[in-house]
A and B are shown apart, each in its own frame.
Chain A
């Protein structure tokens, strides 16, 4: 996976030990890393016409969701300017990452996406329960 290189905590304690901002950044970086590969994947799928229409629409939906999620996280965490700086440097890295993503096979792509989405979900949950512990935590 193209995101394998990112240093993400691989366990609960590790994730909990991360300070909030760092975790947030991490999440955002992950999401960012997937934005472009997803859209690229969609185009790729359309051309190939292997998948049914349902799958295609689903894929589009997913990439939209990722984008929205990213925006949402940014907004909710009040991160605006900081991310810009962060983003600038990571964009370059992002490009190369995207390139890598393009080289993956479809099944690997999906596998990696599944894993990373699970990661993001877990991190977000940890964040949520840290910030708002009363909410079903």
Chain B
């Protein structure tokens, strides 16, 4: 059965085959991919070999897939690379990918596909050849090696991190034809032995990626293998030196010896002679040197020196070296450097450094003269200080710091052309820091004493600090006006103030008018001019210019309730020119001196004050700001009945010194200048000057300052001055009694003064108080009497000037009876501008 089956099958297959063969048509044979190549790395091509075509026209198509993707692409280009090829252009060429390529042959009957071919583009690229091939011969132990080095080809787009290059080297002697190839591996250098000396070799190298093809051979490099028998290289003369100007030595540097022991000879000739000599001594100065002793050394002649290197193969001569021994002297460093500390009496100790010239140098005969130089630095320092010493062999050092350690070195050179020697060995210096006991004791005593004094001072300060301060800087007294609350003045309004002051009739009533009689009429214009002049003169101080107004005020100022600044005041600008200056100074403390006069118009007072500005500008004018601060009370008014002229000797007030002391608040001098009340007041008396606190010593002057700012001093400072007497002479005057003793007061009679207090309208001339007369009976013409006494106190310099102003003023001053006895502080405000 089996046999029958098998045979039947065979018959059937035979029949089919026959049929096929007879028909001559079948499916195509399997194609085969021959190879794939990349020519430029950007593209590649694959060629296949078709199988049999089965008698029918066969179509070949190439399919590929990348890496492990499933997508299958078809060949993009069947033509470019020729028949049976597929060309992958740039777009289709991906490096780092593996292409799985198959070729399918198709005909009418069927198709057949080739075996798949895996193509890694990188691998099919032919790499570039290695670059920078360098060759070198080395001779060691009589054997010469050829050392070849190169670099892998530079990579363009392909990174061959995972591909290593393998190299191969080949060489051949120049004359021969056949190359000897040596596999190298992955290294980039190789040493070749077994070379024939004396021949010239050519070397090439190529590389390959582990999966790819070999690159082309690199360009050939040639190298001559040293035969080991060449003449030596040219030696070179380094330098020639003479240490003592009697002998000299020359050194040279040999070149390569060419493989054989080389002999060196030094030949020289002298200037003017033609004979050539050989070095007399090769040994004394060491290898590769020549020593010329005294006999062979001539000065002032130029030597022509050359060195010749000789070996079996030949010789070589160095370049000639010309030398004149005179100019190549370099001595040895100085020796025996010693230090000596000298301590002269009454002077600082100093150090003497001594040394000796080098032993070989013959300085004694004068043949060689040396100059020395030393350098110095503190041990920790970095920079050397170089000192040129000259030909002496000692040096005195004065400027070293005791206790510090220094390093010193010396070197020398011939005095004419030559070079400096080496530095001598380091020498350490240290000046003992000598500490004079005497000095220390003195310092200790001084220290103890001063600390003692300090202690005492601090103690006293602590215990009696206040008193001390008071002693040194006496407080400036404030005004003492009863019934006036300084704070109120500071903060309160005018009404309040006035009420406190118990003013009635503010603005003043028409009483004043009575006082208007016999007032001096002061023209506005004049006044103003005057004012202005004042102003000009003392711009800063003249806020009080407005004081003129006060004049008017004072007269009727009270009537008008003048504010200094008030216009009314302005109208009557009587300038009581005499503004007594000083006086009040002593306001402070007991203020005896204060005469507070109300100044009707502060302005007037100010005006007066103007001239009085004393030294300190300080307070300058009444600053408007200050006005509020003004302590009211300044005005002590005296009710003057008939004020003629009241001269107040302010001097008694004493002024001066006292004031200074008072610091406190500014005691501005308040001078209250009253406005002249024309009626009676002839003179104006200046009210207290404002004491200005500014530490001015000029006493009076300050007072006069109308400008002073806080004219209104503390209430406490203000005080009433009792009118002692009123003299009714041709020079009526009012004597005011000081409440507290203070100075003398001139006595003036004031007619009709029954009351004790008189209101002083103005102060004139510093000495003259113009009081406001209570009874209008008396109107004394204003006259001015300079108070003698006051004069002195008054001023000092400035006041006098001020006086001048005032002097003229009175004539012009209007006297106004000041009806109001009170000064309206608020009036001051405007006055100060």
Contact of B365 among A16, A118, A136 (CB under 8 A): A16
- Counting chain A CB atoms within 10 Å of each CB, the highest count among B364, B367, B392, B417 belongs to B367
Chain B residue at minimum C-beta to C-beta distance from A117: B416
- Counting chain B CB atoms within 10 Å of each CB, the highest count among A16, A129, A130 belongs to A129
Tell me whether A71 is interfacial, beta carbon within 8 Å: no
User: When chains A and B are docked, how far (Å) is the Cα of A10 from the Cα of B297?
Assistant: 9
Task: Tell me if B298 and A121 are in contact (CB < 8 A).
Answer: no
Take A12-B362, A118-B416, A121-B416 as given contacts and tell me if A126 and B301 are in contact as well, using a CB distance cutoff of 8 Å.
no
Task: Tell me if B300 and A8 are in contact (CB < 8 A).
Answer: yes
Tell me whether A19 is interfacial, beta carbon within 8 Å: no
Contact of A11 among B298, B364, B391, B416 (CB under 8 A): B298
8 A Cβ contacts from A77-129 to B:
115, 118-119, 121-122, 125-129
User: When chains A and B are docked, how far (Å) is the Cα of A132 from the Cα of B363?
Assistant: 13
Chain A residue at minimum C-beta to C-beta distance from B362: A12
Take A118-B300, A129-B366 as given contacts and tell me if A12 and B272 are in contact as well, using a CB distance cutoff of 8 Å.
no
Q: Which residues of B contact A136 (CB under 8 A)?
A: 391-392
Flag B236-256 by CB within 8 Å of A: 1 or 0 each.
Answer: 000000000110000000000
Task: Tell me if B326 and A115 are in contact (CB < 8 A).
Answer: yes
Task: Tell me if A119 and B246 are in contact (CB < 8 A).
Answer: no
User: When chains A and B are docked, how far (Å) is the Cα of A9 from the Cα of B298?
Assistant: 9
Tell me whether A13 is interfacial, beta carbon within 8 Å: yes
Chain B residue at minimum C-beta to C-beta distance from A16: B365
Tell me whether A137 is interfacial, beta carbon within 8 Å: yes
Contact of A10 among B300, B362, B367, B391 (CB under 8 A): B300
Chain A residue at minimum C-beta to C-beta distance from B415: A121
Tell me whether B294 is interfacial, beta carbon within 8 Å: yes
Chain A residue at minimum C-beta to C-beta distance from B299: A10
Chain B residue at minimum C-beta to C-beta distance from A126: B366
Chain A residue at minimum C-beta to C-beta distance from B417: A118
Take A125-B367, A129-B364, A137-B366 as given contacts and tell me if A12 and B300 are in contact as well, using a CB distance cutoff of 8 Å.
no
User: When chains A and B are docked, how far (Å) is the Cα of A136 from the Cα of B298?
Assistant: 26
Tell me whether B369 is interfacial, beta carbon within 8 Å: yes
Q: Which residues of B contact A121 (CB under 8 A)?
A: 416
Q: Which residues of B contact A4 (CB under 8 A)?
A: 272
8 A Cβ contacts from B279-302 to A:
294, 297-301
Q: How far is the CB of A82 from chain B (nearest CB, A)?
A: 24
Task: Tell me if A115 and B366 are in contact (CB < 8 A).
Answer: no
Task: Tell me if A12 and B326 are in contact (CB < 8 A).
Answer: no
Q: Which residues of B contact A15 (CB under 8 A)?
A: 367
Q: How many residues of A contact B (CB 8 A)?
A: 22
User: When chains A and B are docked, how far (Å) is the Cα of A8 from the Cα of B299?
Assistant: 10
Task: Tell me if B366 and A125 are in contact (CB < 8 A).
Answer: yes
Task: Tell me if B369 and A119 are in contact (CB < 8 A).
Answer: no
Flag B347-378 by CB within 8 Å of A: 1 or 0 each.
Answer: 00000000000000011111101000000000
Task: Tell me if A137 and B298 are in contact (CB < 8 A).
Answer: no
Task: Tell me if B294 and A13 are in contact (CB < 8 A).
Answer: yes
Q: Which residues of A contact B301 (CB under 8 A)?
A: 10
Q: Which residues of A contact B416 (CB under 8 A)?
A: 118, 121
Q: Which residues of A contact B392 (CB under 8 A)?
A: 136
Q: How far is the CB of A46 from chain B (nearest CB, A)?
A: 28
Take A118-B416, A137-B366 as given contacts and tell me if A12 and B245 are in contact as well, using a CB distance cutoff of 8 Å.
yes
User: When chains A and B are docked, how far (Å) is the Cα of A94 from the Cα of B319?
Assistant: 38
Task: Tell me if B364 and A133 are in contact (CB < 8 A).
Answer: yes
User: When chains A and B are docked, how far (Å) is the Cα of A8 from the Cα of B301?
Assistant: 11
Contact of B367 among A8, A115, A122 (CB under 8 A): A122
Take A11-B294, A12-B246, A136-B391 as given contacts and tell me if A119 and B366 are in contact as well, using a CB distance cutoff of 8 Å.
no
Task: Tell me if A128 and B366 are in contact (CB < 8 A).
Answer: yes
Q: Which residues of A contact B417 (CB under 8 A)?
A: 118
User: When chains A and B are docked, how far (Å) is the Cα of A12 from the Cα of B369?
Assistant: 13
Q: Which residues of A contact B298 (CB under 8 A)?
A: 10-11
Q: Which residues of B contact A130 (CB under 8 A)?
A: 365-366
Take A12-B367, A125-B367, A125-B369 as given contacts and tell me if A118 and B326 are in contact as well, using a CB distance cutoff of 8 Å.
yes
Q: How far is the CB of B754 from chain A (nearest CB, A)?
A: 107
Q: Which residues of A contact B363 (CB under 8 A)?
A: 137
Q: How many residues of B contact A (CB 8 A)?
A: 22
User: When chains A and B are docked, how far (Å) is the Cα of A133 from the Cα of B297?
Assistant: 26
Q: How far is the CB of A125 from chain B (nearest CB, A)?
A: 4
Chain A residue at minimum C-beta to C-beta distance from B393: A136
Q: Which residues of A contact B365 (CB under 8 A)?
A: 12, 16, 126, 129-130, 137
User: When chains A and B are docked, how far (Å) is the Cα of A65 from the Cα of B826?
Assistant: 99
Flag A1-40 by CB within 8 Å of B: 1 or 0 each.
Answer: 0001000101111011000000000000000000000000
Q: Which residues of A contact B297 (CB under 8 A)?
A: 11
Chain B residue at minimum C-beta to C-beta distance from A132: B366
User: When chains A and B are docked, how far (Å) is the Cα of A119 from the Cα of B369?
Assistant: 13
Q: Which residues of B contact A10 (CB under 8 A)?
A: 298-301
Q: How far is the CB of A6 from chain B (nearest CB, A)?
A: 11
Q: How far is the CB of B391 from chain A (nearest CB, A)?
A: 6
8 A Cβ contacts from B299-341 to A:
299-301, 324, 326
Task: Tell me if B299 and A11 are in contact (CB < 8 A).
Answer: yes
User: When chains A and B are docked, how far (Å) is the Cα of A115 from the Cα of B416?
Assistant: 11
Chain A residue at minimum C-beta to C-beta distance from B365: A129
User: When chains A and B are docked, how far (Å) is the Cα of A130 from the Cα of B366?
Assistant: 8
Q: Which residues of B contact A119 (CB under 8 A)?
A: 300
User: When chains A and B are docked, how far (Å) is the Cα of A11 from the Cα of B168?
Assistant: 71
Q: Which residues of B contact A12 (CB under 8 A)?
A: 245-246, 362, 365, 367
Flag A52-66 by CB within 8 Å of B: 1 or 0 each.
Answer: 000000000000000
Chain B residue at minimum C-beta to C-beta distance from A136: B391
Q: How far is the CB of B205 from chain A (nearest CB, A)?
A: 58
Flag B664-675 by CB within 8 Å of A: 1 or 0 each.
Answer: 000000000000
Q: Which residues of B contact A115 (CB under 8 A)?
A: 300, 324, 326
User: When chains A and B are docked, how far (Å) is the Cα of A11 from the Cα of B326?
Assistant: 10
Chain A residue at minimum C-beta to C-beta distance from B392: A136
Q: How far is the CB of B245 from chain A (nearest CB, A)?
A: 7
Flag B552-586 by CB within 8 Å of A: 1 or 0 each.
Answer: 00000000000000000000000000000000000
Q: How far is the CB of B189 from chain A (nearest CB, A)?
A: 55
Q: Which residues of A contact B366 (CB under 8 A)?
A: 125-130, 137
User: When chains A and B are docked, how far (Å) is the Cα of A1 from the Cα of B150?
Assistant: 61
Chain A residue at minimum C-beta to C-beta distance from B270: A10
Q: How far is the CB of B639 from chain A (nearest CB, A)?
A: 100
Q: How far is the CB of B395 from chain A (nearest CB, A)?
A: 15
Take A10-B300, A119-B300 as given contacts and tell me if A126 and B391 are in contact as well, using a CB distance cutoff of 8 Å.
no
- Counting chain A CB atoms within 10 Å of each CB, the highest count among B272, B366, B416 belongs to B366
Chain B residue at minimum C-beta to C-beta distance from A133: B364
User: When chains A and B are docked, how far (Å) is the Cα of A30 from the Cα of B298?
Assistant: 19
Chain B residue at minimum C-beta to C-beta distance from A9: B299
Q: How far is the CB of B510 from chain A (nearest CB, A)?
A: 104
8 A Cβ contacts from B388-406 to A:
391-392
Q: Which residues of B contact A125 (CB under 8 A)?
A: 366-367, 369
- Counting chain A CB atoms within 10 Å of each CB, the highest count among B300, B416, B417 belongs to B300
User: When chains A and B are docked, how far (Å) is the Cα of A125 from the Cα of B362?
Assistant: 12
Q: How far is the CB of A16 from chain B (nearest CB, A)?
A: 6
Task: Tell me if B367 and A126 are in contact (CB < 8 A).
Answer: yes
- Counting chain A CB atoms within 10 Å of each CB, the highest count among B297, B299, B392, B417 belongs to B299
Contact of B364 among A13, A118, A137 (CB under 8 A): A137
For the complex of A and B, 7 pairs with smallest distance between CB atoms: A129-B366, A125-B366, A10-B298, A12-B367, A126-B366, A10-B299, A115-B300
Some 16 contacts from A to B, beta carbons below 8 A apart, are A8-B300, A10-B299, A10-B300, A12-B365, A115-B300, A118-B326, A118-B417, A122-B367, A125-B369, A127-B366, A129-B366, A130-B365, A130-B366, A137-B364, A137-B365, A137-B366
Q: Told that A13-B294, A115-B326 touch, could you supply 15 new A-B pairs with CB distance under 8 A? A: A11-B294, A11-B299, A12-B362, A12-B365, A118-B416, A118-B417, A119-B300, A121-B416, A125-B367, A126-B367, A129-B364, A129-B366, A130-B365, A130-B366, A136-B391
